[in-house]
Structure 1
Amino acid sequence: MCPVRAHDLLAAFPVVGLDSPVIDAARMLAEQGLPGIIVVDDDGAPFTILPGTQVLRLAVPGYCQDDPALARVVDEAHADTFLNALEGRTIREVLPRDRRELPVTDPDATVLELAALMARTHSPLVAIVTDGRLLGAVTLRALLDRVLGA
């Protein structure tokens, strides 16, 4: 039996550009049930991968992240509209300044290599790239389904 490689788990995956509105990325996550978003640069190469929780982090006020008790005192009318803070802002504008390791690998990566990369980068998906071109992504779900034989 041949070992499973990234190309065996690869799926087409939607992307957004650096100048895409953040609110559109959030909608894409919700509407398509995505675990995260691949953000590409002007050449179409992966620039960063934002897990869904990171997209939320961009919208949740810092004071609520720093002190969860403050989130509790915000009235319901305002609590339900926190995503409005993203309106009119691009992904480029809200990205953290510090760059983390990019969860990107080649089509021949093994399942263990993919799992280690996901774990190390805290990413539920890995972009698969060859010759600087994005082929698609491997999601945590696809990886676990294959490993667990689901």
Structure 2
Amino acid sequence: MHAAVMAEKFPVVLLDSLALQAARLLAENRLPGLVVATADGRPYTVLPASDVVKFLVPAYVQEAPTLAAVLSESMADRAADKLGGKTVREVLSARPSDLAVVEHDDNIVEVAAMMARLRCPLTAVLRNGTMIGVITASRLLELVLAPH
């Protein structure tokens, strides 16, 4: 099976998209991450949902997780405030995750190998340099585990 057959339409955000809108896309669709593209539409990186969560947690709590127990849950209510006005570029970690990219005619093993090597939950599928869809790890597993 070729990547083009496995690919699905998937939300894409730009580096300069609002981080709050990206977070809402992640939450509303329960996505593992989003493909982040450059202004000209080329896939650039993946924004894992975990990076957005990490952005919301103060650094001192990340360093000493026991402090989380003494913080009020109202901090979570202010999450939207922390994302407000920020761009996806600002939420991405200092070292953005590699985005797995495959060609439309790559087979299922080639796609799986790319995802595994980069430990990426999403793979952008390209045809002539243009992204035609995305394969998620869950979609790949669905296809691999389907009875033949």
TM-score range normalised by the length of the shorter chain: 0.7 to 0.9
Q: Please, which moves more after superposition, 103-112 or 91-100?
A: 91-100
**Partner in structure 2 of residue 135 of structure 1:** 132
Alignment of 1:46-57 (within 5 A): 46-57=43-54
**Partner in structure 2 of residue 104 of structure 1:** 101
1:60, 1:83 within 8 Å by CA — same for their partners in 2? Answer: no
Q: Structure 2 vs 1, CA of residues 37 and 99 (structure 1 numbering), >3 Å: closer, same or farther? A: closer
1: distance between equivalents of 2:110 and 2:61? 36
Q: Structure 2 vs 1, CA of residues 144 and 42 (structure 1 numbering), >3 Å: closer, same or farther? A: same
Alignment of 1:34-53 (within 5 A): 34-53=31-50
> 1:84-118 CA deviation, whole Å, 9 max, x = no partner?
31111001223223244321111122222222222
Instruction: Work out the percentage of aligned pairs sharing the same amino acid.
Output: 42
Q: Please, which moves more after superposition, 12-21 or 102-111?
A: 102-111
2:37, 2:45 within 8 Å by CA — same for their partners in 1? Answer: yes
> 1:19-56 CA deviation, whole Å, 9 max, x = no partner?
11111101011112222111110110011111222222
2:115, 2:122 within 8 Å by CA — same for their partners in 1? Answer: yes
**Partner in structure 2 of residue 7 of structure 1:** 4
How many aligned residue pairs are there? Answer: 147
**Partner in structure 2 of residue 17 of structure 1:** 14
Amino acid at match of 2:70: V
1: distance between equivalents of 2:32 and 2:92? 18
Return 5+ residue gaps in structure 1 as ranges.
none
Return 5+ residue gaps in structure 2 as ranges.
none
Q: Structure 2 vs 1, CA of residues 50 and 115 (structure 1 numbering), >3 Å: closer, same or farther? A: same
2:7, 2:133 within 8 Å by CA — same for their partners in 1? Answer: yes
Normalising to structure 2: TM-score of the pair?
0.88
Amino acid at match of 1:136: G
